[in-house]
Structure 1
Amino acid sequence: MTVELRHLRAFLAIAAEGTITGAAARLHVTQPALSRTLRQLEAHLGARLIDRSTHHLELTAAGHAFRPRAAAAVTAVDEALDPARAGTWPLRLGHAWSALGEHTTPLLRRWKQEHPDTPLQLLRVDDRTAGLDHGTVDVAVIRGDVDLPAEVATVVLLFEPRVAAVAADSFLTRKARLTLHELVGKPIAVNTIAGTATLGLWPPDAAPNDTVEVANTDDWIAAIAAGTAVGVTTTATAAAYPNPAVAYLPLADVPVVPVRLAWRQPPSHPAVPDLIAFARRFMTAQPPSGAGREGFRARRG
């Protein structure tokens, strides 16, 4: 049997809906036809993808592993057949927050100059892999330690110092530099989706007692600006999210954050190798940023 796009769409619909009934309605097919399509896909792969032992269907371990691959394949076909993209094929660069900080705009401009026939599309995706897992992007900016599949290649572009983010009217802004210990008096804003700062930064016997969990950088900034919480981030956030109600202050004695580019092998776009080589060359030529040296000063907008 030859696997067709409808087999992948069927599996993805069932995974998203959790029931055959919901998935059949979503795809406008009958339930028996959808069940038959799923069985054909499982027979081809030689693995059970959906656990049917409960009323609400669950993915098996094989199903969880197959889901991002199926999503990437469907997205790639949809992109290729999109009439609006005829004649152009944008190279999609994903990021969960801050992209490449102060280097983002210069990099995009230089790419446009050197590769005018390949548009570089910057996409923010609130996801730990910045859309790479689901095939939404061709290359992703990844910060910190992220679990990536074996077929994903990475290269380190730079290392970003961490900074504290506090309300601009906080008494903490009287200091030129802060320590993690000085932040424990307030709840810590934690981006649970794609953030690099967790309570693991603090010693176990001196960790904050309270957190404010958010799902994206906008909500993280809002919590800090309101004085509800303080946060730990990198210098890229200070460059990408200046806010008159937020001050960014250097943090002492905390590890820097590696910033990587990640892409699938084989690449989903023919220009991926060009972008990797270009980004490495571009970053190597950049002088040390003011935000990345000991002389970093708090920014308030």
Structure 2
Amino acid sequence: MDVELRHLRAFAAVAHHRSFTRAAEELLITQPALSRTVTQLESALSVRLLDRSSRHVELTGTGREFLPRVEHVLAALDQALAAARREITIRLGFSWLLPDPWAQDAVNHFTRTTGASVALVRRDDPIRGLQQGTIDIALVRGEFTAPRSARAVHLYDEPRIAVCSQNCDLARSDHLDWADVPRRPLVVNTVSGTTGPWSWPNGQGPEQIVETTNFDEWLESVAADRGIGVIPEIARRRISHSAIRYIPLTGAPPSPVSLVYLPHAQQALIRGFLEAAVAAVNG
């Protein structure tokens, strides 16, 4: 029988804890499975490495000599794996304003647990970037049509807020009701916006729509008083513009935030990022 990495890790764990129970907990395997693995290693080497005769597990003379060499091999392997993973990057695409502190927490958790890195890639249309292969995971706000075979993970919902020009009569209001939004011209980002005619049942949306194709056009159109806008509330904390005013919006449905991805060669790392992303929401 060949000696495998699992044999060395099992022996090192038992030697460190002097306990099969605690070593099994560390390795996330059952105690009988751990005992069999160590026995296999001893059989392959034709030596006894552990003395199981006392209440506590102890190293034999051969085991004490073998342990530092095993630890050296495992440390060198871990260093090699970490170096290889540092060359791996997951590309996270977004259209504007990554949510905080979710983005920072998710990225830090992912890099800490995998050793890989995250490249933040801004795209006016993250879904299209996903289809073109320029990003690996798309952060999408609002309702969207997922590409064929794509998978989506809903993270959480963001509250909405109204935005208007400083010259608009709403600039002096203390709130705006969702039911009153359709009575005014609405500036819409048709590519990655979260609020548009699709946000209301047929026939109940705004009669006048001002279309834009990216966030900057949307923002400057609102500032120019071409209409009002509706956006996730995070904008109030993150975007300062002297020509706009934020108005609390009552009765508005929340805006979903999701991660979208396609089957990929780096599927294991993508799963790792999704786990980090969900942990950042719950943590």
Flag structure 1 segments of 5+ consecutive residues without an equivalent.
1-85, 286-301
Structure 1 distance, partners of 2:201, 2:172, is 25
Q: What TM-score, normalized to structure 2?
A: 0.62
User: 1:96 aligned to 2:95?
Assistant: yes
Q: Whose helix fraction is larger, Structure 1's or Structure 2's? A: 2
Q: How does 1:81-230 map to 2 (within 5 A)?
A: 88-101=87-100, 103-112=102-111, 114-115=112-113, 117-127=115-125, 129=127, 131-184=129-182, 186-202=184-200, 207-230=205-228
Change (3 A) 1:281 1:178: same
Structure 1 distance, partners of 2:258, 2:186, is 26
* 1:102–1:240 contact (8 Å) kept in structure 2: no
Change (3 A) 1:203 1:282: closer
Structure 1 distance, partners of 2:100, 2:128, is 15
Q: What TM-score, normalized to structure 1?
A: 0.58
SS at 2:234 equivalent: helix
Question: Residue by residue, what CA displacement relative to the aligned partner does 1:139-188 show, whole Å, maximum 9, x if unpaired?
Answer: 11122222223421211111011111112343313333212354455421
Question: Residue by residue, what CA displacement relative to the aligned partner does 1:15-35 show, whole Å, maximum 9, x if unpaired?
Answer: xxxxxxxxxxxxxxxxxxxxx
* 1:101–1:235 contact (8 Å) kept in structure 2: no
Letter matched to residue 223 of structure 2: A
Change (3 A) 1:103 1:225: farther
Flag structure 2 segments of 5+ consecutive residues without an equivalent.
1-84
* 2:92–2:118 contact (8 Å) kept in structure 1: yes
Aligned-residue offset at 1:116:
7.4
Aligned-residue offset at 1:249:
2.3
* 1:191–1:220 contact (8 Å) kept in structure 2: yes
Of 243, 253, 278, the residue aligned with 1:280 is 278
Letter matched to residue 250 of structure 2: A
Seq. identity, %: 27
Structure 2 distance, partners of 1:242, 1:270, is 39
Aligned-residue offset at 1:222:
0.9
Change (3 A) 1:187 1:279: same
Change (3 A) 1:276 1:211: same
Q: Which has the larger radius of gyration?
A: 2
Question: Residue by residue, what CA displacement relative to the aligned partner does 1:40-78 show, whole Å, maximum 9, x if unpaired?
Answer: xxxxxxxxxxxxxxxxxxxxxxxxxxxxxxxxxxxxxxx
Structure 1 distance, partners of 2:282, 2:126, is 26
SS at 1:276 equivalent: helix
Q: CA RMSD in A?
A: 2.8
Change (3 A) 1:87 1:257: closer
Of 245, 248, 254, the residue aligned with 2:246 is 248
Change (3 A) 1:150 1:277: same
Letter matched to residue 231 of structure 2: T
* 1:187–1:208 contact (8 Å) kept in structure 2: yes
Aligned-residue offset at 1:201:
3.2
SS at 2:253 equivalent: coil
Q: Which residue of 1 aligns with 2:71?
A: none
Change (3 A) 1:241 1:104: farther
Change (3 A) 1:244 1:128: same
Q: How does 1:260-275 map to 2 (within 5 A)?
A: 260-266=258-264, 268=266, 270-275=268-273
Structure 1 distance, partners of 2:134, 2:227, is 32
* 2:232–2:255 contact (8 Å) kept in structure 1: yes
Q: Which residue of 2 aligns with 1:232?
A: 230
Change (3 A) 1:168 1:262: same
Aligned-residue offset at 1:278:
0.5
Letter matched to residue 165 of structure 2: A
SS at 1:123 equivalent: strand
